[in-house]
Amino acid sequence: MSSTHLLRAAMAAHQPEWYSLDLLRTVLGELAGRPGLVRPAACATLRGELSRAGRGEAFVVQAGDCAERFADASSGTTRRKIDQFDALTARSVAAGGIPVVRIGRIAGQYAKPRSTPTEQLADGRSVPVYRGDAVNGERPDPADRRADPARLLDAYDRSADVLDVLDGHAVGGGEPVWSSHEALLLEYEESLVRPDREGGRLGSSGHLLWVGDRTRQLDHAHVDFLRSVRNPVAVKIGPSVAPGDVTALVRALDPQHETGRLTLIARMGRDRVREHLDRVLAELGERARDVVWLVDPMHGNTLVNRAGQKTRVVGDMVDEIDDAAGVLSTHGCLLAGVHLETTPDPVAECVATHEDLVARSPLPEYRSACDPRLGPTQAATVVEHAARAARRTRTI
Ligand code: PEP
Ligand code: CO
């Protein structure tokens, strides 16, 4: 699945087939001349916050859209997302008793890895799959679905718009919401690398950058990229990860044992987390305690209802959170936080129970551009549950 690229030696999966490499080159040149989107000092501060979370002094809530849309980069929508973080923070503090580190899937979550390169439309036509607003359009139309490098400039501009609102909120005395996204489009990420204070490389596209479960191969370009930057970084680990590979990832990405540098986001699925996370932790041994552990109880629990909609059951999520917390504490580790797909909008994309999976199909308020998100009430329930589960790992 490697494709047209300009910069890399190592294999990179899930890269778009850009329609024009000349235009890509021009766009990357333009991006390289622009100011960095985030500052080194802010990334260093977040790294310190993550280190506190790793020690059990704070709880991480990382949440937001599966795929942000450019159209949602307005200040109004961004403020509603901040309000949702405020509500989730209150619930988390009440349940967990410690401060919250708030990290959005926000201000750059514009590119998605997809399981198939094309999508079959109802009329039988096949079009390239939607890969996020940074790559192509959501409308199922061949022209819109072309991978257009000019969209990378919009991704930068919309990220800057959202970051302005987040910065304004923090400067006004509000608790910060840090930015994070999956560092999937390597040319884009590389074009935004800027020097940090010590002359190292900062990925200036966002505060925390992560690599997904499909691009975490040790010898591939995404892990190389994370290794090369000084940001706090994260890797998603799913049920197919070999325990030895996790150990190698920890050695590669956190060679100095600096808590806060590396976050691992376990997204094993309700039925597999107990056994598989246990194997991962057993293999890691002492090294597991250098890592900030989050649980993503969503991506391993995706189901499809009878109407063909992707959905997830909140009951499965809370079960996975409990099992992840239990296994972590068995190995002397803390659950440091939770990673969720959420929206402040009153959507119906996830369901409460397995009965609802059948009873509530098709889901009426389904608006996600990609995976099913938790609405405000569901998100609060899951965060509260996770904060309690994390608290138990601190008192054992
Ligand atoms: C995501 O976070 O939207 C995603 C694609 O996750 P994962 O890498 O865990 O599959
Ligand atoms: Co997703």
Q: At residue 361, does pLDDT exceed 60?
A: yes
Ligand 1 mutation target, pool 214, 235, 349, most atoms within 8 A of CB:
214
Give distance in angstroms: CA of 245 to centre of ligand 2.
23
d(CA 40, CA 195): 8
Give mean pLDDT, residues 51-73: 98
Nearest CA owner, ligand 1 atom 2: 66
> Which pLDDT score, from 0 to 100, does residue 7 have?
58
d(CA 376, CA 354): 20
d(CA 30, CA 313): 44
pTM equals 0.97
Backbone angles phi, psi at 133, to 5 degrees: -60, -20
Q: Which residues, in sequence order, are bridge partners of residue 342?
A: 374
Nearest CA owner, ligand 1 atom 10: 213
> Which pLDDT score, from 0 to 100, does residue 326 have?
98
Burial letters 98-122, b for 16+ CB under 10 A, else e: bbbbbbbbbbbbbbbbbeeeeeeee
Q: At residue 396, does pLDDT exceed 70?
A: no
d(CA 72, CA 81): 10
> Which pLDDT score, from 0 to 100, does residue 8 have?
65
Q: What is the pLDDT of residues 11-42, one digit of tens each?
A: 999 999 999 999 999 999 999 999 999 999 99
> Which pLDDT score, from 0 to 100, does residue 2 have?
41
Atom from ligand 1 closest to the CA of residue 213: 8
Q: What is the pLDDT of residues 259-304, one digit of tens each?
A: 999 999 999 999 999 999 999 999 999 999 999 999 999 999 999 9
> Which pLDDT score, from 0 to 100, does residue 197 have?
85
> Which pLDDT score, from 0 to 100, does residue 259 have?
92
Ligand 1 mutation target, pool 182, 185, 211, 370, most atoms within 8 A of CB:
182
> Which pLDDT score, from 0 to 100, does residue 51 have?
98
CB 89 within 8 A of CB 98: no
Going from the N-terminus, what domains does the chain have, and what CATH number goes with each? 9-395 (3.20.20.70)
Atom from ligand 1 closest to the CA of residue 265: 9
> Which pLDDT score, from 0 to 100, does residue 395 have?
87
Q: At residue 139, does pLDDT exceed 60?
A: yes
Ligand 1 mutation target, pool 213, 220, 320, most atoms within 8 A of CB:
213
CB 348 within 8 A of CB 374: no
Describe the crossing of helices 376-395 and 75-96 by its angle, rounded to 10 degrees: 40
d(CA 371, CA 165): 25
DSSP 8-state class, residue 20: -
- Calculate the average pLDDT of the chain: 96
Query: 3-class SS at 19?
Result: coil
243: its two tokens: 């325990």
* Ligand 1, residues at Cβ distance < 6 Å: 66, 113, 212-214, 236, 238, 267, 299, 371
Q: At residue 173, does pLDDT exceed 50?
A: yes
Q: What is the pLDDT of residues 369-391, one digit of tens each?
A: 899 999 999 999 999 999 999 99
